[in-house]
Amino acid sequence: MGQEVNGYVVETCFGAGGCPNRACHTDDLPEKMETVLEGKDLKGFLQRKVKGPLKMHHEFRVSVSDCPNGCSRPQIADFGLLGAERPEVSEEPCSACGACEEICKEEAVVLHGETVRIDEARCLFCGQCIGVCPTGTLISAEKGYRILLGGKLGRHPRLAEALPSIYSSAQVLETLDQCLDHYLRFSTQGERLGEILERVPYGNQL
């Protein structure tokens, strides 16, 4: 198994195959993330830190999902991405057709007559309400990725925690680079990022 361990894994959802739920997609982002990962020599690092042979669970896991459905399970990856599109109410008049309210599974779109309100506490930024709005009343205010850090399974499973913003592809790559530096600096035995974050939080963002 040690020969098969690469030091990192990048997983993606089925969005590139034409999934209609894609909230955001940058088709070359996984490849660019792999370039960042390769530059850190994670396998060599793990070989120096881990006592005994390397196993699959030692690898730094990255997962990219193009929408909040999270089919590639970014919630249990060291570094996970969820495609996100934040809706905004424009000045265009609403026809009160109700399509936005009907499609929202989170009940985050509230329609009162011809007035639309977005409940951001409920909204998962899937962008589907924007796609069905026939009048342009709902528009895209921001598009990119939500970043989740520190998820894992194993004996002590841990759900990843989300950073507070929506990030562009360039910001995703920069944050990945910073998280890897954090991991390399504070890992003592090749433990997963989530265990490190419990001891040494990533900046003041978590």
In this prediction, residue 136 carries a pLDDT of: 96
In this prediction, residue 205 carries a pLDDT of: 44
- Mean pLDDT of the chain, nearest integer: 93
Residue 169 CB: number of other CB atoms within 10 A? 17
What tens digit of pLDDT does each residue of 23-34 get? 988 789 999 999
What tens digit of pLDDT does each residue of 38-85 get? 999 999 999 999 998 999 999 999 999 999 999 999 999 999 999 999
What tens digit of pLDDT does each residue of 138-189 get? 999 999 999 999 999 989 999 999 999 999 999 999 999 999 999 999 999 9
Q: Which residues are 88's β-sheet partners? A: 139
Band (pLDDT 50/70/90 cuts) for residue 3 is: low
Domains along the sequence of the chain with CATH = 8-85+142-199 (3.30.413.10), 86-141 (3.30.70.20)
Threshold 0.85, pTM exceeds: yes
> What span, in angstroms and rounded, lies between the C-alpha atoms of 205 and 192?
18
> What span, in angstroms and rounded, lies between the C-alpha atoms of 76 and 156?
12
